[in-house]
Amino acid sequence: MQKGGFQDGKKSARQRNVREEAIKLLQLAVDKGIASGEPQPFDFDEFISKLRKQYAESSLPDYPGDD
């Protein structure tokens, strides 16, 4: 089929729908973040420590970084 034909139109409409849905989802995430209030400090080391503790308490094999 020639470029610019029916198939290209269907593809463009599909791409436009995917893009519009992605924008809606992004806007919802932004709105949720704004509604959650003021930002709070984040302690990355504490976060990793908690994850490692949860991992150690799980039935998963040893974490390779914990020697």
Q: What is the DSSP string of 28-52?
A: HHHHHHHHT-S-----HHHHHHHHH
pLDDT digits (tens, 9 = 90+) for 14-67: 999 999 999 999 999 999 999 999 999 999 999 999 999 998 888 766 666 655
What is the Cα–Cα distance from 67 to 1, expressed in whole angstroms? 61
* 63 in Cβ contact with 49 (< 8 Å): no
pTM of the model: 0.49
Distance separating alpha carbons of residues 32 and 41, to the nearest angstrom: 18
Evaluate whether 7 touches 1 at the Cβ level (below 8 Å): yes
Tell me, what's the pLDDT at 3? Answer: 60
Residue-range domain boundaries for the chain? 6-57
Model pLDDT, residue 44: 97
